[in-house]
Amino acid sequence: MSVLVFIDHADGQIKKSSLEALCYGAKIAEQLNIAAEGILLGTVSDNLADLGKYGAKKVHQVSNDSLNQLDSQSYTKIIAEAVHASGAKVIIFSNNISGKAIAPRLSARLKAGLVSGAIALPDTANGFNVKKTVFSGKAFANIALNTDVKIISLNPNSYKVSAGSGGAAEVVALNAVVDAPKIKVAGVTKTSGEVPLTEAEIVVSGGRGLKGPENWGMIEELAKLLHAATACSRPVADAHWRPHNEHVGQTGIAIAPNLYIAIGISGAIQHLAGVNRSKVIVVINKDPEAPFFKAADYGIVGDAFEVVPKLIDAVKKLKGVV
């Protein structure tokens, strides 16, 4: 019996969202008085024994370079075999891009109930219930997992990574038949040097109030200083001022950073739905009636073109950058 956590990686590095999933899985294992184990498909430069710090007693690895590319079909087969072999009762994914591709497949294959987008530890007092966001962040639902084997995919930035005093994890080579992937990767384009939006702890976002794409320099500068990702509202993406993968909101990406700074965004209900799980929201808007102020923790009623350069100077001072 174990809690099995899928350890996702890219460019040879374990993703932060997977460390969150591992810490979350280790806590569930502790609740159930069983061990937490990890499973990693492919190869990484990180030392897998170090995952012991985050609560993994054992890490199963299929060291096959062809698995460094995600193929949800072959991944699912291998993970399902590992679940049978290790007798895993709970399987944890991050609800990141890989998790969204694999967890549903595994659920269907094992006939194991899945809660995708969990934001808290399960309540095991009466059954096994997991809280997730629904209605695009406007509400939460408590979902009962009614099957013997349970799958949870944890929303990124919902559970804190903390390194404990656990010893080295035992790394076990897993022998698996690796099918030839049916999906061929023809190319990858990276938005280089920038922080991925879904993993960012701070997000600086701009709206129509910025008047045009030529005014994004100050947004990017502020984001860079704060080591933040940049985002935008839907009208901005629709007008092609910014790429559509920056669009946050109900029909874009839902995010939950520690700090969300909204500049020149009025805060329509659809936008709020995608960002209202941010821990701290700052709104800068010249319209004091902008609905976003009702959802904000801090606000400045003022002209972004005057306020943002001053903020940049203040951050530079704080960070000791002159």
Partner 1 sequence: MKILICISKTPDTTAKIAFRDNNTKFVADGVQWIINPYDEWYALVRAIELKEKDPSTILHLVTVGIADADPIIRKALALGGDEAIRINADSQDSFYIAAQIAEIAKQGAYDLIFTGKETIDYNGSSVGGMLAELLDLPYISLATKFELNNLTATVTRQIEGGEETDEVNLPVVVSCQKGVAEQRIPNMKGIMSARTKPLKTVEPAAIEPLTSVVSFELPPAKAGVKLVSPDNPEELIQLLHEEAKVI
Question: Of 21-29, 169-177, 207-215, 269-277, which segment contacts partner 1 by CB under 8 A?
Answer: 269-277
* Lookup result for tokens 């294959």: 109
Query: Which of 86, 96, 230, 233 is the binder for partner 1 (CB under 8 A)?
Result: 96
What residues numbered 145-174 form the site for partner 1, per CB under 8 A?
Answer: 145-147
What residues numbered 20-59 form the site for partner 1, per CB under 8 A?
Answer: none
Sign of CA pseudo-dihedral 146, 149, 155, 158: positive
Q: Which is nearer to partner 1, 158 or 198 (CB)?
A: 198
Please provide residue 34's backbone torsions phi and psi, each rounded to the nearest 5 degrees. -130, 180
Query: What residues are paired with 205 via a beta bridge?
Result: 231, 262
Question: Of 25-33, 38-46, 139-147, 163-171, which segment contacts partner 1 by CB under 8 A?
Answer: 139-147
**Host H or E run for residue 21:** helix 16-32
Residue 33, SS3 per DSSP: coil
Residue 10 within binding range of partner 1, rule CB under 8 A: yes
Residue 275 within binding range of partner 1, rule CB under 8 A: no
CB 3 within 8 A of CB 29: yes
CB 260 within 8 A of CB 297: no
Question: Of 32-40, 45-53, 69-77, 208-216, which segment contacts partner 1 by CB under 8 A?
Answer: 69-77
CB of 313 to partner 1, least distance (A): 8
Query: Which of 166, 196, 213, 291 is the binder for partner 1 (CB under 8 A)?
Result: 196
Residue 180 class from Cβ within 10 Å (0-12 exposed, 13-18 middle, 19+ buried)? exposed
Q: Which is nearer to partner 1, 175 or 189 (CB)?
A: 189
Radius of gyration in angstroms for the set of CA atoms belonging to the chain, rounded to a whole number: 21
CB 3 within 8 A of CB 90: yes
The Cα 83–Cα 73 span in angstroms is 16
Q: Which is nearer to partner 1, 86 or 198 (CB)?
A: 198
Query: Which of 1, 185, 239, 321 is the binder for partner 1 (CB under 8 A)?
Result: 185
Residue 233 within binding range of partner 1, rule CB under 8 A: no
Residue 204 within binding range of partner 1, rule CB under 8 A: no
Residue 81 within binding range of partner 1, rule CB under 8 A: no
